Structures are given as structure tokens and as C-alpha cells.
Amino acid sequence: MSLLEVKDLHTSFFTDAGEVKAVNGVSFFLDRGKVLGIVGESGSGKSVTAYSIMQILAGTGKIVSGSIKLDGQELVGAGEKVMKTVRGNRISIIFQDPMTSLNPTYTIGKQLMEAILLHTNRNKKEAWDRAVEMLRLVNVNEPEKRMKQYPFEFSGGMRQRVMIAMALACEPDILIADEPTTALDVTIQAQILELMGTLQKELGMAIIMITHDLGVVAQMCDEVIVMYAGSICEQGTADEIFYNPCHEYTKGLMRSIPTANTAGKKLQPITGTPIDLLNMPEGCPFAPRCDAAMKICIKQRCENMQLNDDHRAACWMNVKRGVEDGSITLEGGADHE
């Protein structure tokens, strides 16, 4: 049994314009002490997946179906009382936008201590010490003085580090980090990633790292999920995803990164516009933008197939390749030209 098991998760927003299927059949496992990366285009459902796990969906958002098990315990439908003990104690989240997630009217110290008192067995003095220690760990200088300051007195990067300190101070089993380092400079980012890595090893904490930065994924993650239009299009070990991408979207993503070798050359962006979640096509959601798309891609969605022990992908190209090299035999003669 894995620490976290997500099975066929569907989450939608019921808006005036219709049902927005933000998460559309997502499944994955997360083991203790592992780092799972989630990448994918803006709007592909990364944050909504995280909010579904925490059950903190905004507005009209609802988990429509599926299962989320923490240490074997079902969380979907478990009720607010159970979720209150899960949030913070067992699973912490660092939000994408640090500006909106700190209360502007309380000091940094008060907010940190509140979180620590609520989620760990410490008294006030110990909570203060722990808060100072955490601020020091995330490289906020003069932490004792900083405890008495308000969020507006901190720069964006410092606020983000406070959020990280708050999430880590509670020693969760799972840390969900939603774009935790986008507001940070590379040298500070390196310090924070190093700190997360250390805590993950020392405390056996598992991390879900949501990010656009494929460099961060390469550095931190054991496994990677690639999302497109609410679904997982590919998942596997970091090495498999980077060195052997098997979905056309992932391939396009990897091609668009500037590297030392692209200097002076044209980059290769993915052309076209993202899909409208209100009007999902029948076939592969990436087909309208895919250069390799075949007839079947437009008609029918490819299921997420096991390619090897470390790798799954939902792309008809793998079927085509399998048929060509004889490793797959087709029944019923689906046309894939």
C-alpha cells in the first residue's frame, strides 16, 4: 500500500457556461520519501488536482468521482472532520500565490506559531523556537526580528519562503508544493530545494512538486506526471520522461526548452492554442495541435498504456510503433493511418 493512492479522480467546476472538467480521470501512487513532479501546460489541472487532494476547491468546484486514499483511508466523502486532521497534520500545501495566502493583519510570527500550535504537540515557547528555527532554515535573516513584522514588510521571495517555512514546520507526511520557487532567484531557489531535499530524506516526507520548470523537475523528482487538458498524458520515472518521452505533447514540451545547444537557433514551440475544457473533443485532446496526429487520434482517445515497468503514456503513436515492430497485435482492426 502506498502512502497516497489517487484513482480515477474527476473534478469539475459547474459554471454558468457549463461543466468545466478540470481534472478528468487522474490516477497515481505516491510512496513515503519520494518526490513526484507534476508538469503540464497552464490550465491543465495541476493545481486543481492538488486542491482536490486537500479538498479545498474554490467556488463551484466538486470532486465528481474517484478515490483518494491516504495510508489506506478513503478521503473522498470522508467529511470535513477527517479532512481537518489531514490538512496541515498529514498533508501541507505551499500555494502558488504567496501574496494571497498570508493574512496581512497578523505578524509573520503569529501566523507561524498558530500553524505549529495547531498541528504539532508543542507549547507556546517551543512553538516560538520552532518558528524561529524554520525561518532561519529558509534563510530569512534576523529571524527573531522578522517574527514581529507584518507580511507587507517582506519582499515577494521572502513571503514565499515564509509559506515554505509554515508548511514544513508542521512536519507533514506529504508536502504539496505548487510552483514553490517561481518568485525566487536561482541562488535562493537552490537553497530552498536543498532544504526540501534534506527534510524529505531526514523525515521521510513525500513531496508533490508542481512546476513549469523542467530544470527543477530534473533535479528533484523521482517520478513525473505530465498533464494535458485535465488528464495524465504520460507518467514515469524522471529518466524515462526526459530521455524517452512517449507522448507527442511531452516531446513538444522537451523540444521547446532553450539549452546551451539552441543558442543562435530557432526554438521549436508547440503551435496552436490550448483546448477549451467546455468542449472537449472525442479523440486525443492533444490531436488538434499534434503534428503526428493520425485518423484514429481524432476519433478515439488512447488509453494510458503501460510501456514498461517505469513508464505509461496515452498516445496512439506507441500503438503504431508496437504494431510496426510486431510487439502489439491488433484485434478488431482499428485503423490507425
Ligand X SMILES: Nc1ncnc2c1ncn2[C@@H]1O[C@H](COP(=O)(O)OP(=O)(O)OP(=O)(O)O)[C@@H](O)[C@H]1O
Question: What does DSSP assign to residue 295?
Answer: H
> Taking CB within 5 to 8 Å according to partner kind, which of another protein, ligand X, Mg ion, none is near residue 238?
another protein
Amino acid at 177: A
Bridge partners (DSSP) of residue 67 are 7
> Taking CB within 5 to 8 Å according to partner kind, which of ligand X, another protein, Mg ion, none is near residue 213?
another protein
- Out of 46, 90, 159, 251, name the contact with ligand X by CB under 6 A: 46
Least distance (Å) between residue 218 CB and another protein = 4
Question: What does DSSP assign to residue 96?
Answer: S
30 close to 236: Cβ distance less than 8 angstroms = no
At residue 77's C-alpha, the angle toward residues 72 and 82, to 5°, is 65
Least distance (Å) between residue 14 CB and ligand X = 9
> Taking CB within 5 to 8 Å according to partner kind, which of Mg ion, ligand X, another protein, none is near residue 104?
none
Whats the size of the chain, residue-wise? 337
C-alpha cell at 96: 502558488
C-alpha cell at 172: 507533514
- Other beta carbons within 10 Å of 166: 26
Does the protein bind another protein through residue 198 (CB under 8 A)? no
At residue 244's C-alpha, the angle toward residues 241 and 250, to 5°, is 55
Q: In whole angstroms, what separates CA 274 from the centre of its chain?
A: 19
Element at 238 (helix H, strand E): helix 238-243
The residues, any chain, with a CB within 8 Å of residue 333's CB and separated by 6 or more, are none
196 close to 139: Cβ distance less than 8 angstroms = no
- Closer residue to ligand X in complex, CB, 38/287: 38
- Out of 17, 58, 260, 263, name the contact with ligand X by CB under 6 A: 58
> Taking CB within 5 to 8 Å according to partner kind, which of another protein, Mg ion, ligand X, none is near residue 180?
none
Longest dimension (CA), the chain: 72
Least distance (Å) between residue 91 CB and Mg ion = 17
Sole window of 10-18, 114-122, 234-242, 324-332 interacting with another protein (rule: CB under 8 A): 234-242
Least distance (Å) between residue 236 CB and another protein = 12
Does the protein bind another protein through residue 100 (CB under 8 A)? no
Q: Is the dihedral of CA 123, 128, 131, 137 positive or negative?
A: negative
- Closer residue to ligand X in complex, CB, 46/119: 46
- Out of 9, 35, 36, 48, name the contact with ligand X by CB under 6 A: 48
- Closer residue to Mg ion in complex, CB, 46/90: 46
The residues that touch ligand X, with contacts defined as CB under 6 A, are 13, 15, 20, 22, 40, 42-48, 58-59, 61, 96, 277
The residues that touch another protein, with contacts defined as CB under 8 A, are 41-42, 139-141, 155-157, 184-191, 193-194, 212-219, 238-239, 242-243, 252-254, 256-260, 262-264, 266-271, 273-274
